[in-house]
Chain A
């Protein structure tokens, strides 16, 4: 065996104390699996809500009989606004035509309709980045103040619900990840602390024979790293299983699950994250070694 000695002690202890180690590996795996699934859900939520603003537009309706120059003027000033992507003028005739086309199977609605009830309007498409509820509300308020504008219509409720849902889910996700990470560090901390206490005698002897702090610490850090990484690896297997069994099955029954994305790359760091948390827990458990 050409492994460095501290490494050997660490690996030996891993097997010697297999039950406590297995228990903490499983606990860590469960924690990291929940983290992985949270990331998975957040990722898909993010992708889904990113597509929404592209379809988002604001409608601006004019008073009857407004002059065309005035409309042109408003179009020019709107286009200058950085939140605005494009502006399309829809004369009332076109609006009616479009409406009729949309409702072509229910043409009876328009029977007996002598006058066009629709106003002239503008369809304003917004820049993606600008579509926060505050930005849109500001734009709508400004537009309403313009002379000749009768009404502004945008999905106020819908937009802010989506926005806050997104922000809220992200916050919940981050808090959840932080709590679980702390929990995992604590699991490693306790495990290494127990193993450390079980070896108090041996460690004291090592110290008296002239072992440095790092010689004493190294096996425990290695053990923590292996426990963490193993937990991470198990969680990786878990999340792939979760995807292929749960999500794939669901997508057969419920079509919307077909659009769910599985960012495999995003999960590959789980073992590394586990290892990092394991080392952190072990490091805290060892504390300041005294001579």
Chain B
């Protein structure tokens, strides 16, 4: 019944059950463990004969409510909410890959993901091959014998490149490997991974889902399309046999998520769920203000270039228009003459905050080369699209004129 509502209504009512005493928000169940009246009842839950919560690392009512809501928004079959976006990516990837396997990843991924794939996972025998996700030939050629996952961001952060996700899904399907999308910057409001042909979606809910920079969180949504019974995934066989199309989520829940322990705090699940209600309204404003700011910067004599997929001269405007229904997101990057100019600009801002985050109601800026990407070599930075003169902006939902005004006065001082 709920699935027939429009997306905006689903955001507010989808998956929500009435709370105690008619409460309209989700109760924060701040309890580590859950008691049962009989030993038999607890045995039944442990053996999986009946659903129930036993321990908050494994499951919690507040977190489960958020899992259901996000799953509904993505039109998936099951979801897992985690402590952070990185926890979601780590858990999802480790559910799929074993030592000796390889990830085929977009090279323009968020720095934390780049480091997870290149440094952390490689010390456990999981390899990675980075490719330009907009070069379909390179992606096709990047699929090797040991490739078990194709990973890509819907819009590369901070490269701002937009891959053709349906075409990538086709490559993954041919290779009989799943396509995992990091849809943090687009959210299900701009596009649903399922409609684009993806198999799994991960989010850092810390960003636009939360919307006010008040909690860190992540989510993995299983879209239920991938056949885990294939010969490349023998470790899924017992889960396919027992849980059918839920094999991925079952393996994640019964092993990796439970064992790594990157569970969400109930309070954070509450805060993240609060953000869902206003997602559509906020995203509309984020997108319209970002386009306005991008157009202003595009014309400004001190600005060398602007990267925003909504600009008519962006090489990604076409694909972004088709894929995201004429919406281009809140993120943009632009170039000043050099690093010193970028620093002068940031120091002169009065409204926009200089910090390492995106997706807040507040307008945020950062100089990625000296901060989130400071540990990378110039070659690696180039791969991620990060240069010394680049400033990244996450356009907030303040009065659009005030945002543009702040940038105008700061540019005066460059």
Q: Do A and B come from one complex?
A: no
